[in-house]
Chain A
Amino acid sequence: MDFKQQIEQANQKAAEILTGGRPVWVDVQPAGDVIPGMTPDTLLIAGPPIAVEEIPGPVKTAICGALIYEERATTMEEAWQLVTSGTVKVESAQDHDAACGAAMATSASMPVCVVEDKVYGGRGFCAVHPGNKQNVLRWGFYNEEVQRDLVWFRDHYGPALGETVRRMGGIDLINVMSKTAGMGDENHNRQPAASMYMALQMIQTMMEMEFPYRDQIVKEFAANDRFFLHVMMAGAESVLASVKKIPHSTVMVAMGGNGIRFGTRFAGTGNRWFTVEAPLIEGLFLKPTYTREDMLGFLGDSCVTEVYGLGGMSASAGPGYVILTGSTFADALQRSADARKVCVAEHMFAPIPWDGSRGFPVGVDARKVVGLNILPTSHGGGTLKAGGQGTMGSAKLPLDCFKQGLVAINEILINEAK
């Protein structure tokens, strides 16, 4: 079998898993109890691995905050000392089938959504979405209010959600997205319909249950129209966990930014990340006083939704977001059309009526990106250097990540052939 056939076969397998996988939200558990390779000394952050001294401000704040919350330190300085000394290891979440939104640092006791792919058996993880405010670890802030929230999530909010989904026998995320098809979500930066539909089901169960602070939990949960994002990030990871195990495949299985570097991983190249200087997420500044100089490079793992075919890949499904961030309906169609040209498969659970009833393109093939010179788009929110969200918009995936990936997979194939 020549290289080409080996790759074709592997990519075919990847396509099957990506479209055949069935992510179901089954539980909420402390990160340290469920995430593979996670220890009390592990912190997970977004994007490719990064040297400690390069970690940008907001992420550093989140890391130190997480360590204080874990009672490993009492001051920010003390906490940072644990990191620089190597006592605490900061690792890339996606190397653990987990994902971190923006500046988030996930530590062992934090509650994470556990999503299981019922067909291929993979499991993915992501912290419970903290709500629609800026003052959260996720946007690089840590203070008393954030601390209170973290404890609340750990002791009450997270366990209550976990019990609810367990009692419901899990929530099928494909079902949620099918039910809410056509409601304008692109399921990365806009997901009110999916969040509401999920709440619609969960609140019924919550009302039948007895747990402390029930009313407050229900109220908080129902008020968060972005809740679905973190569940879906875990969902994407659960399916990608199986794709990551396919040798020789040129399909992208991870991507994200750490604020300094942006990176991708491909199924056939193992744990290696291929990185470039992180691009900016451009579109709409949330305050007119913000400038490009205020922005960090691409930060966050929420683009794992794109790796799974949502967000910018299926932009035409949610053109409202594209228009809101300064582009046009034609751009939205173009983003999906471009993505289809470089993907190995198409999700057909929610055909898009105004886009020729086409589905969501999924499984970016590095060969096609490089060969056709077509760059898929990721949606995203840009983080300010000072912390907080500065933009919402999009970024083209950097070509060089894909070129590096091809060189690497070629080396692997050559070595194996020897």
Chain B
Amino acid sequence: MELFTILQKNTYVDSLASLFTMSVLMDSAGIESAYAGMATASNRQTMEELGLADDTVRSAGENDFVVAVRADSREAFEAAMAKTKKDERTNSIGKTSFVTIDDAVRENPRANICSIAVPGEYACEVTKQALNKGLHCIVFSSNVPLEQEREMKELAREKGLLCMGPDCGVANINGVAFVLSSINNRGPFGICGASGCGIQHVAAFLHEAGSGVSQTIGTGGNDLKEQVGGISMMMGIDALENDPDTDYIIVISRKPADSVLQTLLVRISQCKKPVVACLMGVDRSLVEATGALWANDLDGCAQQALSLIGKEIAFDSDETLTQMARQAVEGMSPQQKYVRGIYCGGTYCDEVMQTMQPVIGGIHSNCPLSPELRLEDSRVSVGNTVVDSGEEEFTRGRPHPTLEPTMRLPLIAKEGEDPETAVILLDFILTPPEHIDPAGVTLPVLTKAMEAARARGGKIAVVCSVLGTDADLQNADAQRQKLRDAGVYVCRSNRQAGQLAAKIIQMKKERDGR
């Protein structure tokens, strides 16, 4: 192994683009390790720790972009670098970019909203700058201290501007899908939610039923905590109530803090428009006392919403799922016992474990439902396991799996090689910035896993759901079809995927008389 480094003086490459480069390098043949990024003090430190620093790296400054690769040979290094060149984003002439919000707004006085994805420690300052320029904000940055989140949101409230997030990945404003949202049809439902995945889930069902959303407002996962006080949620409900294009309001959140819950319930009870409330873990009676329609989970939320316009979602019945499970179990070897889930979405990972646990018992995870089920090593599955591949131990040096679906392929492959694997359980979440064919890039690994299981005298069942719409650039229907054609069980929702997977494991256990 030999260390190769490249220094591009005075070249700015953003962190996400660096991650993509790094990812391509690490996946290339003959590459042991790689790093790409701006040569900031902390990045140089990381490179030292990884043993990827040489004098070139040490001499680089914070304005320089560095790439360091430990490779078998110069040929391997050059081949890997050539691959990164293919995706290189160039700053085309005539398309100017700015470095400060001030300059950008001065030159573009019509700017009215901004999408902010900067490191968490800077998010508050940047958001306040944008708010002071009169811009509504969608803040994707995470790890923002709660007191700063409150500061940003108080400023937004004072100015009458929307502050969606921090930690907001989903917002659909005027039909435009921001950050990690699906592209949705427009319709009479306004959604305000503290769970991006939840909003996207419900909106996708509305879309599929031929309806749609007026606006979807993400508040960020921490909005309904005591310290933040639900500022964005309240403003979002106010805005949707005053919006003539919104006939119905959907509120989605995990369990809010008690004090915030009180305010929220009062607000819902005063709302002049019909409300569907999916407040996970909140007593049904409390919700129904406000006059809102209650929903237990995301599927239920979509169902309740559609009931307002006389529509219904055709979820698979228990019988259908049982039949599917029975067929899936046929041909499995006695050795195969467990479900192995590799997830992109944190909320979905949670939901699927909640769904399966009552049926098949404790599920091990890197984000378990209870602490004793925590995996010792996130990469070594134990019994029934579902991992969130968006967690830090997997994403270090790589983009999040909802942006780069190839990053979870090695994890899927590993489960496919395990003779104890009975079910591979997956979620696909479509987003505008994502790979144009996540199903397509995943299928070869799935097919290989299924073939390998057959060669071992068994059969692996692959179960999944696809979150997205037919308006998404990837087209959810086409993605589902592609997966079905390859023999994958594609369920109506993530919850249903969990139901099916649990049934398969349960039935298999019964069959083998364990």
| Residues of chain A having any CB pair with chain B under 8 Å | 329-330, 333-334, 337, 341, 372-375, 396, 399
Contact = CB atoms under 8 A, between A and B. Distances in A.
B119 to A, nearest CB: 15
Contacts of A373: 62-63
Contacts of A334: 91
Interface of B: 9-10, 61-63, 91, 93, 96, 99-100, 103
Contacts of A372: 99-100
Contacts of A399: 61, 63
A329 B94 CA distance: 11
20 contacts: A329-B93, A330-B91, A330-B93, A333-B93, A334-B91, A337-B96, A341-B99, A341-B100, A341-B103, A372-B99, A372-B100, A373-B62, A373-B63, A374-B99, A375-B10, A375-B63, A396-B9, A396-B10, A399-B61, A399-B63
Contacts of B99: 341, 372, 374
Chain A interface, >50% SS class: helix
Chain B interface, >50% SS class: loop
A375 to B, nearest CB: 6
A242 B47 CA distance: 48
Nearest to B107: A356
Contacts of B103: 341
A55 to B, nearest CB: 27
Contacts of B93: 329-330, 333
B58 to A, nearest CB: 16
Closest 9 A/B residue pairs (Cβ): A330-B93, A372-B99, A396-B10, A341-B99, A373-B63, A375-B10, A374-B99, A333-B93, A337-B96
Given A330-B91, A341-B99, 14 more contacts: A330-B93, A334-B91, A337-B96, A341-B100, A341-B103, A372-B99, A372-B100, A373-B62, A373-B63, A374-B99, A375-B10, A375-B63, A396-B9, A396-B10
Contacts of B9: 396
Nearest to A371: B100
Nearest to A340: B103
- Which of B61, B93, B99, B100 counts the most A-chain CB atoms under 10 A from its CB? B99
B507 to A, nearest CB: 60
Nearest to A372: B99
Contacts of A374: 99
B10 to A, nearest CB: 6
A279 to B, nearest CB: 10
Nearest to A396: B10
Contacts of B61: 399
Contacts of B62: 373
Contacts of B100: 341, 372
- Which of A373, A374, A396 counts the most B-chain CB atoms under 10 A from its CB? A373
A277 to B, nearest CB: 12
Contacts of A329: 93
Contacts of B91: 330, 334
Nearest to A334: B91
A369 to B, nearest CB: 11
Contacts of A337: 96
A341 B100 CA distance: 9
A334 B93 CA distance: 9
Nearest to A333: B93
A31 to B, nearest CB: 38
A60 B39 CA distance: 38
B492 to A, nearest CB: 50
A145 B100 CA distance: 55
Contacts of A341: 99-100, 103
A398 to B, nearest CB: 9
Nearest to B93: A330
Nearest to A398: B61
A130 to B, nearest CB: 34
